[in-house]
Amino acid sequence: MNILLLIKIILCSVLFVSSASFGQSFIEFKNQLKLASNNLDELSFLQEAETQLKHFSYSEQSLYWFLRGENHEEQRQLNDAVIAFTKGIELHKEHKLPASELLVKLLIERSIAAGSIDYYNATPCEDRERALLISREIAQPSLIAKSIAYYAKCLQNKEQGISKSLKLFDEAFDIAKNQKLEPIIKQIIYNQAASLSFRALIYDKAYEYNALAHQSFAATNDMNSVYASIINAIHYSTALVDLDLAKQHLVELKEFSKEQPKYIGAMLKFYYLSAKVAQLEEDWPQSIIFLEAGLKETTNSQNISYIQATYELLSIAYFRVGKIEQSYQILKKVEQLFPNKKPIKKEVLLISGLMNNKPTNITKSAFKLIDKERQSKNNFVKQSTIQAAQIFDNNLKQLDNIILEQKLAIVLGTTLFIVVFLLGFSYLQIQRKKLVIKENHFMDELLTKKNKLLADVSHELSTPLTVLKLQVESLKDDLEEDVQASYDALDNKIIDIQHLIDDIHQLAQSDVGALQLNVEPFELNSTLDLWECELKQFVNKNKLTFEIDKNIPSNLVVNYDKDRIKQVFINLLSNSIKYTDKPGQVKLSSRVKDNTLYLSIEDSAPAVLDKDLVSIFERLYRVESSRSRETGGSGLGLAICKSLIKEHGGTIFAEQSNLGGLKVVITLPV
C-alpha cells in the first residue's frame, strides 16, 4: 500500500510541477490530464496548463476551455464555468473556426450553467437556438436530437411555443428511433419531454417522464442530472396537488444534499420548496421557519433566482402572519441586494407600495385586492371553459341538424313513393315494398355511421378538453406562477378544437351538397409553375426534397376550382411531411391521357400496408393509432381531399410508391 501511495504522489507531482512537459503537444497534454486521480486534480492541472495555451492551435485552445468549463461545472463553480465556455466560443468567432461538434457542446453547456445561475437570463435560449442551427448545418443526428431537447424548452414561453416544441420533439423522437444514440442523449430527451408536458399542463405525464429520466441518470451516476430531476419531481408532484408525494421528494433532496456536499445550493432549494408546500397547506408559521433557515444558506448558493425568491417569500409570509415590520425589513434587504431585478412574487409589489403606510387596515385591503384578482382570474378561466364547451356543443348540434335533414329528405322521398305506389298496380306495390326495405337499411347504416362519427369526434376532443380541465383546476387552486403561459395553453387547446370542428363542418357540407365550387378556366402549366416554388419551399423546410414531373400539353386549359385543387395538394403534402422519415423525398407527377388528367403525389419510406390503402380515406382513420392529435392532425385531411375530388367529378385512390412510401393518385376529367 505504501508503494502505491508513493506512485500516486509522484504522478500528481508530475502533473502539477512539470508544466513544460505538457506544453509540447495537445495529445501529450490530454494524456497527462487522464492521469489525474479526481476532478479536483484535473481542475488544478487545467489551471496550471493555461500558461501553455500559446503552444496549441485555436481549435485545441477551444477544447481546453471546454474541458475546463466542464470541470468548473462539476465542482458547481458556475460563474467560472460560464467564463470558460465563453472563452471557447469567442475563439471560434474571433478566428472564424468552422462549425463543429465542439462549438455545439460549448453553446449547450454555457446555456446550462448560465440558466442555473439565473433562470430569467435570456442568453441560454440564444445559445440553444444557435446550437440547433449549427448541428443541422453539420448534419449530425445525435447533436440535432440533443439540441432540439434543450431548445424546445426555450420555445415553451413563446407564442405557439407548445405546438412548436411538440413538432421539434417529434423530430427528436424519430431520430432516437432510427439512430443509435448515446444513453445520455436519450436521457436529455426524456428530461425535456417532462418539462414540455409540464408546460402543456399534462402533469401526470411530466412526473412519469421525469421518473424515467431520474432512473437513467442514477444508473449512469450523473449527479448533476439526478439533482435536477429531484427538484423537478417536487415541482411536478406539487402541481398534481399530491403534497405527500412532494414531501417524500423533499426528504430525498435533503438526503442528496448530505451525500453530495459539493451541491452547496441544495439546502437553500430544500428550505424554499418546503416553505411553498407549507403555504399550500396554509401553515404560514412553518413556512417562516423553513425560509429563515433558508436565508442562512444563501451564502452557499450561486442561484440568484432562488435567493431573491426566498427573501420575497419570507417577506410575504411575515406579512401574512401580521409581522409587518419584519416584512418591510426583508423587502428593503431585497431592494439592496437586487436593485435592478424585477420582483418574482407579485405580492411584493403591494407590500412595497404600503411600506410608508403602516396601519393594519391598509394591509388587509391589499390582501383583499389579491383575493379579488384571484377571483377574477378564476371567473375568466370559468368563462373560457364555458365558451369552449359552447363552441363544441353548438357545432355538434349543427352536425346533428345536417344528419337530421338527410333523414327528413329520405322520409319525404319514401312518403312520396308510397303515395305513387298506392295509386299504381300491384307490380308497383311489390317494388315499393322492396324500396322501403332498402331505404330502411340505408337509414340504419346512416344512423350507425352517425353514431360512429360522434364517438370518434368525442374521442378526438377528449385530450384537449382533459388538458383544459387540468388547467382550470390548477388556476383555481392558484398553483401557477406564470398565469399568462397558462392562459396561452388554454387558448392553444381551444384553437385545436376549433380546427377539428372546421374540418368536420367542411365534410358535412360536402355530404349534403352544400359545398360550393368556384369553377373557372385556367391554363394548367402556368398555374403549376406558379405553385411550384411555394410547394417546394413548404416541403424543403421540413427536410424533404421535392420534385415536380410535368408531362402536360402546352396551353392546356382546364375548368376546375383552382383554390380547392391547391388545397388538395397542400393536404397531401402535409400528410407526406408528417409521416415520411427525414431526410426523405416527395414527388408530384402530372400527365394527360384520353381526356383525363392524372395527378399523383408520392413519398419515400415508410410505406402503408396494403390493407390500409383504402381505409386511409375514411374519416378520423389513422394507420398509427398511437399518434397524438398534436403530431397526427385531425385525421380528416385525406377525407377532405376525397370529397373535393369527388365534387370535381374525379377519383382518388392510394397505392404503393416506387420511392418506398405512399402514392396517392388523382384522376380528373379534362
Most confident of 74-78, 398-402, 521-525: 521-525
Contacts of 275 (CB under 8 A, 6+ apart): 287, 288, 290, 291, 294, 310, 313, 314, 317
392 and 430 share one domain:
yes
530 and 657 share one domain:
yes
Average pLDDT (562-567) is: 89
Cα dist from 462 to 70, 203, 215, 485, 629, whole Å: 46, 16, 31, 22, 11
pLDDT at 610: 87
Is there a domain that residue 124 lies in?
A: no
Contacts of 458 (CB under 8 A, 6+ apart): none
605-632: pLDDT as tens digits = 998 888 888 888 887 776 654 333 444 4
132-180: pLDDT as tens digits = 899 989 988 888 888 887 887 777 666 566 667 777 777 777 777 677 7
Average pLDDT (469-491) is: 68
Q: Of the given ranges (10-24, 48-62, 305-319, 428-442), which has the lowest mean pLDDT?
A: 10-24
Average pLDDT (178-189) is: 74
Q: What is the band of 461 on the pLDDT scale with cuts at 50, 70, 90?
A: low
* Structural domain span for residue 477: 381-511
Q: Of the given ranges (141-155, 383-397, 442-456, 620-634), which has the lowest mean pLDDT?
A: 383-397
Share of the chain above pLDDT 90, in %: 18
* 32 has pLDDT over 90: no
459 and 558 share one domain:
no
269-310: pLDDT as tens digits = 899 999 989 988 889 899 999 988 888 887 777 778 888 888
Q: Where are the alpha helices (DSSP H) in 344-482?
A: 347-353, 360-423, 426-476
Nearest to 602 by CA among 572, 632, 631: 572
Last residue of a domain, one of 484, 511, 538: 511
465 and 574 share one domain:
no
The chain-wide mean pLDDT, for the chain, equals 77
Q: Is 528 exposed, middle or buried (0-12, 13-18, 19+ CB in 10 A)?
A: middle
Q: Where are the alpha helices (DSSP H) in 240-359?
A: 243-259, 266-280, 284-295, 304-320, 324-337, 347-353
Average pLDDT (212-236) is: 87
Greater confidence (216 vs 246) lies with 246
540 and 490 share one domain:
no
- Reading the block at residue 246, the C-alpha cell is 412532494
Share of the chain above pLDDT 70, in %: 72
Q: Would you say 608 and 664 are in contact if contact means Cβ atoms under 8 Å apart?
A: no
501 and 528 share one domain:
no
446 and 550 share one domain:
no
Average pLDDT (484-505) is: 70
Provide φ and ψ at 241, rounded to 5°: 60, 35
Q: Would you say 220 and 183 are in contact if contact means Cβ atoms under 8 Å apart?
A: yes
Q: Of the given ranges (35-49, 95-109, 381-395), which has the lowest mean pLDDT?
A: 381-395
Using CA atoms, how far apart are residues 251 and 247, in angstroms rounded to an integer? Answer: 6
Q: What is the band of 121 on the pLDDT scale with cuts at 50, 70, 90?
A: low
561 and 613 share one domain:
yes
- Give the β-pairing of 596-604 and 520-523: unpaired
Q: What is the band of 328 on the pLDDT scale with cuts at 50, 70, 90?
A: confident
Using CA atoms, how far apart are residues 283 and 285, in angstroms rounded to an integer? Answer: 6
Nearest to 113 by CA among 47, 171, 59, 65: 65
Is there a domain that residue 612 lies in?
A: yes
524 and 596 share one domain:
yes
Last residue of a domain, one of 511, 540, 568: 511
Residues 225-249: b if buried by 16+ CB within 10 A, e if exposed: bbbbbbbbbbbbbbbbeeeebbbeb
Average pLDDT (38-58) is: 83
pLDDT at 98: 92
Q: Would you say 569 and 588 are in contact if contact means Cβ atoms under 8 Å apart?
A: yes
* 411 has pLDDT over 70: no
pLDDT at 29: 81
Domains in the chain: how many in total?
Answer: 2
Using CA atoms, how far apart are residues 85 and 63, in angstroms rounded to an integer? Answer: 9
469 and 561 share one domain:
no
Is there a domain that residue 289 lies in?
A: no
Is there a domain that residue 13 lies in?
A: no
pLDDT at 103: 93
Cell 383583499 sits at which residue? 368
* 337 has pLDDT over 70: yes
Is there a domain that residue 494 lies in?
A: yes
CATH of the domain at 557: 3.30.565.10
Q: Would you say 479 and 241 are in contact if contact means Cβ atoms under 8 Å apart?
A: yes
Cα dist from 434 to 442, 444, 502, 509, 615, whole Å: 12, 16, 39, 30, 31
Is there a domain that residue 237 lies in?
A: no
- Reading the block at residue 242, the C-alpha cell is 399530491
Q: CA 29, 33, 35 angle in degrees (round to 5)?
A: 125
The beta-carbon contacts of 440-448 under 8 Å, at least 24 apart in sequence, are 442/410, 443/407, 443/410, 446/403, 446/406, 446/407, 446/410
Is there a domain that residue 192 lies in?
A: no
449 and 588 share one domain:
no
Q: Of the given ranges (242-256, 290-304, 567-581), which has the lowest mean pLDDT?
A: 290-304
Last residue of a domain, one of 511, 545, 563: 511
504 and 552 share one domain:
no
Nearest to 203 by CA among 245, 169, 171: 245
pLDDT at 9: 42
Cell 424554499 sits at which residue? 272
Is there a domain that residue 627 lies in?
A: yes
pLDDT at 160: 61
Provide φ and ψ at 618, rounded to 5°: -80, 155
* 125 has pLDDT over 60: yes
pLDDT at 1: 41
